[in-house]
């Protein structure tokens, strides 16, 4: 049965669906970067409120700034912007149709439709999931790269921006000039201090365009930090077939694990839905939650996906089932990452490691190694290198963390141990493969990439560990190297 408003009433009884009148919903949120994660996470939380008769004036309007976003828009428009969510619990699967999104802005190069929608005073929150690399942060300095060609374009042509940030600034200018109030700018990406990062990005660009506008944005808009967490695989043929098995023809269904967490700083200049009524946490200490999650879960993903790719393991669950890779995760996370994170209410770091171990090992989640290993040039500097810096400063062990960096270098050489090719999997892939090949005979060539490692490559203890592991990977192979690490 093709998913649509008309088909909701005749879905099988075991399938959850909106119980509210979708035709009566009005928009309050524009979300840029409408991929699987948003639809399984933020859109789901909003639906739970709507099911209680609340937040009907906070419906979501999807948006994007890239050509493939238009493909997504057309898919969702053809099914009335509904999404099938399939929860993959090891004890059984469940299905729910989410209807909290009611529209999707037409995607154009100039972003004029997006700017016009955000300029509408009915929009009170603009949220984003544009990935870690989408914020134009220099991986070495961790500072905003104002000289990036995309940003320079937006500064030169502020009425025809090509980035989401330029579009937000253009919309805020229209709102200011019309006497309307600001909206809250809410990042939902896996960045520590994501609200602070978003604020710095917008203010930096706006300052280069119009200093008075930048000051108005800074004084009137809010940028709440948040931590988001749920494992949501990419959609492919298997996921579409799975939806069909439940009797639903959905062009873009979403599978997800049986876990969600959303921790948010309560800084909303134009109001917000009461997400805390349905499981979200509002707190002034988002940092402790996000540090634990980013270092153990996101850092853990990088620790296991790189050896998985080298050894030809296809999914994260299968990595955890591999006796060497799974054991490496537990040893590095429990022995080297845990000392660099703090407990949060109701969760000690070691307990969180065990939680993540179970989540990664969920065989129902077909989360590919390729997806998780993507964009290591943003994820290693963001997720693992800060842990190494802290561990060095505290004189703690870095053996496994240095091995994780060596495995990344080995993976970026571009071939698996069975001789098959690793397809390009990073925006900087060509440069990474070149340096990784050099590092096969001169290991320091890899950590001398200052755009990733900064001065870390000059730290003797880290450099010695890294060289030891990378040389061993090339001389003895991945399995023997992992066994050496596990044997201590």
Q: Do 298 and 269 fall within a single domain?
A: no
Residues 41 and 71 placed together within one structural domain of the fold: yes
Q: How far is CA 126 from the centre of its chain?
A: 17
DSSP for 402-431, written as a single string: HHHHHHHHHHHTSB-TTSPBPPP-STTHHH
Structure tokens at 136: 């134009």
Q: Rounded to the nearest 10 degrees, what angle do helices 164-177 and 112-119 cross at?
A: 40
Query: Is position 3 within any domain?
Result: no
pLDDT at 142 (0 to 100)? 74
- Gap between the Cα atoms of 113 and 107, Å rounded: 7
91 falls within a domain: yes
Q: Are residues 123 and 254 in the same domain?
A: yes
Q: What is the pLDDT of residue 141?
A: 74
Residues 190 and 280 in one domain: yes
Full residue range of the structural domain in which residue 274 is found:
8-284
Residues 371 and 386 in one domain: yes
Residue 411 sits in the same domain as residue 442: yes
What's the pLDDT score for residue 131? 86
Residue 2 belongs to some domain of the structure: no
Q: What is the pLDDT of residue 192?
A: 87
**Domain end call among 250, 284, 318:** 284
CATH number for the domain that contains residue 439: 1.10.1040.10
Q: Is 1 inside a domain boundary?
A: no
* Ranges of the chain whose pLDDT falls below 50: none
Which pLDDT tens digit goes with each residue over 194-235? Answer: 999 999 999 999 999 999 999 999 999 999 999 999 999 999
Which parts of 33-121 are beta strand (E)? 59-63, 83-89, 92-98, 101-104
Number of domains observed in the structure of the chain: 2
Domain boundary among 284, 301, 328: 284
DSSP states of 455-469: TGGG-HHHHHHHHHH
pLDDT of 132: 81
Predicted local confidence at residue 304, as pLDDT = 98
pLDDT for the residue 140: 67
Are residue 183 and residue 316 in the same domain, yes or no? no
Which domain CATH number covers 36?
Answer: 3.40.50.720
In a domain, 441, yes or no: yes
**Using one digit for the tens of pLDDT, what is the confidence trace for 110-155?**
999 999 999 999 999 999 999 888 899 887 677 899 999 999 999 9
> For the whole model, what pTM was predicted?
0.84
């Amino acid at each position: 049965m093709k998913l649509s408003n008309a088909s909701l009433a005749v879905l099988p009884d075991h399938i959850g669906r909106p119980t509210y009148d979708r035709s009566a919903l009005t928009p309050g949120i524009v979300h840029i970067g409408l991929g699987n994660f948003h639809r399984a996470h933020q859109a789901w939380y909003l639906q739970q409120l709507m099911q209680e008769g609340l937040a009907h004036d906070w419906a979501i309007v999807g948006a994007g700034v890239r050509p493939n976003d238009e493909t997504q828009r057309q898919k969702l428009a053809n099914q009335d912007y509904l999404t099938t969510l399939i929860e993959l619990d090891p004890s059984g699967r469940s299905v729910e149709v989410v209807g909290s999104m009611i529209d999707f802005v037409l995607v154009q190069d100039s972003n004029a439709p997006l700017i016009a929608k955000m300029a509408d005073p009915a929009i009170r929150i603009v949220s984003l999931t544009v990935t870690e690399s989408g914020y134009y942060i220099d991986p070495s300095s961790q500072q905003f790269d104002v000289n990036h060609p995309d940003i320079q374009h937006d500064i030169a042509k502020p009425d025809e921006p090509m980035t989401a940030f330029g579009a937000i600034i253009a919309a805020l200018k229209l709102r200011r000039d019309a006497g309307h109030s600001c909206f809250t700018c809410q990042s939902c990406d896996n960045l520590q201090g994501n609200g602070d990062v978003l604020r710095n990005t917008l203010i930096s660009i706006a300052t280069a365009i119009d200093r008075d506008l930048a000051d108005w944005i800074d004084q009137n808009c809010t940028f709440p930090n948040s931590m988001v967490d749920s494992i949501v695989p990419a959609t492919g043929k298997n996921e579409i077939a799975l939806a069909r098995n439940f009797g639903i023809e959905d062009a873009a269904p979403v599978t997800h694990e049986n876990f969600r967490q959303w921790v948010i700083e309560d800084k909303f200049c134009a109001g917000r839905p009461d997400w805390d009524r349905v499981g979200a946490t509002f707190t002034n200490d988002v940092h402790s939650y996000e540090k634990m999650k980013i270092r153990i879960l996101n850092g853990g993903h990088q620790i296991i996906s790189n050896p998985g790719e080298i050894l030809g393991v296809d999914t994260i669950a299968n990595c955890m089932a591999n006796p060497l890779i799974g054991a490496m995760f537990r040893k590095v996370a429990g022995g080297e990452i845990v000392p660099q994170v703090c407990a949060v209410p109701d969760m000690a770091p070691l307990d969180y490691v065990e939680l993540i171990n179970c989540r990664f090992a969920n065989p129902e989640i077909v989360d590919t190694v390729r997806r998780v290993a993507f964009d290591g040039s943003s994820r290693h500097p963001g997720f693992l290198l800060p842990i190494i810096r802290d561990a060095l400063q505290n004189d703690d062990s870095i053996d496994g963390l240095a091995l994780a960096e060596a495995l990344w270098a080995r993976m970026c050489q571009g071939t698996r141990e069975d001789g098959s090719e690793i397809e390009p999997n990073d925006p900087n892939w060509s440069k990474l493969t070149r340096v990784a090949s050099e590092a096969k005979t001169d290991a320091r060539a890899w950590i001398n990439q200052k755009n990733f490692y900064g001065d870390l490559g000059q730290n003797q203890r880290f450099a010695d560990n890294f060289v030891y592991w990378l040389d061993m990977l090339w001389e003895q192979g991945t399995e023997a190297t992992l066994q050496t690490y596990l044997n201590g």
